Amino acid sequence: MSQDASPAPLPYAGIRVVEFTHMVMGPTCGLLLGDLGAEVIKVEPIEGDSTRRLLGSGAGFFPTFNRNKKSIALDLKKPEGIEAALRLIASADIVSENFKPGTMKKLGLDYETLSRIHPRLIYVSHKGFLPGPYDHRTALDEVVQMMGGLAYMTGRQGDPLRAGTSVNDIMGGMFGAIGSMAALRQRELTGKGCEVQSALFENNVFLVAQHMMQFAATGKAADPMPSRISAWGIYDVFTVKDGEQIFLAVVSDKQWAVFCQAFELMDLHADPRLATNNDRVRARDWLMPQLRSRLADRSAAELAAAFEANELPFAPITQPQALFDDPHLNATGGLAPVRMNDGSESKVPLMPFTLGGERPGIRLQPPRLNEQGTELLREAGYSDEEIAALVDKGITAPAP
């Protein structure tokens, strides 16, 4: 590419999204569309999205899920706030929301109402459940993990355990974005918009489908992951020298031969009871203690180097904060500078794919509350005097 060649436009440049979202699920949908070039307008309450103030496990939510967005603060409990929202929606291709069922209808911002005015509008609802017997229930990621079999599969027998991240919230938002992409294509064909619905429970069921189908194929219920019979002979965490831990895997007969050669285990390679992967699976009760004993005096670094040199699967046991310094992520541009809630700078993971060899990056930092509010209201036809009046009445917030 010549130095003056312009980069390819992002695929959703020119698409406007107005989102009424909070926490993780809805913001993830807007994050994905924003990273891919859409103009995403985040409508926040006057006090701001609650994730700007969360502590503990929620402290990083806002900078993680709200880059490449603009912020406008509106009081939707007042008619003037609804009017401003409707003006923004008039220019939107997509509206996205993740409030409790019925909330948007009470505000007159539901799909049925808006589609009568804007038949080309795509409307994405992120809920706990798709319409049906459960749709009145209040759902959280942990709720659907428990009722959808994921917590059972993650924990030990009798000890259901939620996954270590907000898997359904994040993936549910991704499916909302995928649905909106499909709806945009459908609109190209039909000229009409439609409603897209994405739900935590159904997302969770999709995640555990492999275990459902294991039962369908074998007639045997899947065991929780900590007690399952692995499909591979060697596929486990090893505690080695100085108490360090490392995950090691040998998942084919060819890898078994390479592994035995690398670690001088040719007596095991010659054992007819270990000839195939399935043989090694059946022998795990006596094979694994031998392997643990014979590898115990080697360091995790030594094992990692040998596995890497021999193209065998391995992984260090890494805590999330160590990923900031991961050499691969930093060398490949997988982390980008991001503004935190307090104005400091950190790094945040970008989308896990490339377009034309480039990772979609950060064009807009996570916005300060109402950072683009004045600009957006002007675009919607408000004069500076009218905007000042909205600020005086508490309909919108002052410019930051």
- pTM score, two decimals? 0.92
pLDDT digits (tens, 9 = 90+) for 242-279: 999 999 999 999 999 999 999 999 999 999 999 999 99
Cβ distance 59 to 92 under 8 Å?
A: no
By percentage, how much of the chain surpasses pLDDT 70?
Answer: 98
How many angstroms separate the CA atoms of 140 and 146, rounded? 10
For residue 43, what pLDDT is reported? 98
Q: Using 50, 70 and 90 to split pLDDT, how confident is the model at 330?
A: very high
Segments of the chain assigned to CATH 3.30.1540.10: 230-320
For residue 8, what pLDDT is reported? 81
| Mean pLDDT on 126-132 | 97
Count, in order, helices (H) and strands (E) of the chain.
18, 11
* Strands (DSSP E) found in 209-333: 234-239, 245-250, 314-316
| Mean pLDDT on 325-342 | 96
Segments of the chain assigned to CATH 3.40.50.10540: 16-208+329-392
For residue 2, what pLDDT is reported? 40
pLDDT digits (tens, 9 = 90+) for 287-308: 999 999 999 999 999 999 999 9
pLDDT digits (tens, 9 = 90+) for 303-323: 999 999 999 999 999 999 999
For residue 5, what pLDDT is reported? 56
CA distances from 88 to 45, 79, 370, 377 (A): 15, 14, 14, 8
For residue 3, what pLDDT is reported? 47
How many angstroms separate the CA atoms of 278 and 285, rounded? 13
For residue 1, what pLDDT is reported? 38
How many angstroms separate the CA atoms of 154 and 136, rounded? 27
Mean pLDDT of the chain: 95
Report the side by side order of strands in the sheet with 39-44.
70-73, 39-44, 16-20, 94-97, 122-127, 195-199
pLDDT digits (tens, 9 = 90+) for 98-121: 999 999 999 999 999 999 999 999
pLDDT digits (tens, 9 = 90+) for 177-234: 999 999 999 999 999 999 999 999 999 999 999 999 999 999 999 999 888 777 888 9
Q: Using 50, 70 and 90 to split pLDDT, how confident is the model at 6?
A: low
* pLDDT over 90 (residue 390): yes
pLDDT digits (tens, 9 = 90+) for 27-54: 999 999 999 999 999 999 999 999 999 9
CATH architecture of 230-320: 2-Layer Sandwich (3.30)
Closest of 193, 172, 179, 178 to residue 26, by C-alpha: 172
Query: What dotted CATH number matches 16-208+329-392?
Result: 3.40.50.10540
| Mean pLDDT on 159-164 | 95
Residue 229 β-bridge partners: none
pLDDT digits (tens, 9 = 90+) for 345-386: 999 999 999 999 999 999 999 999 999 999 999 999 999 999
Helix, strand, coil shares of the chain as percentages rounded to 5? 45, 15, 40
Count the Cβ atoms, other than its own, within 10 Å of residue 187.
17
Q: Using 50, 70 and 90 to split pLDDT, how confident is the model at 65?
A: very high
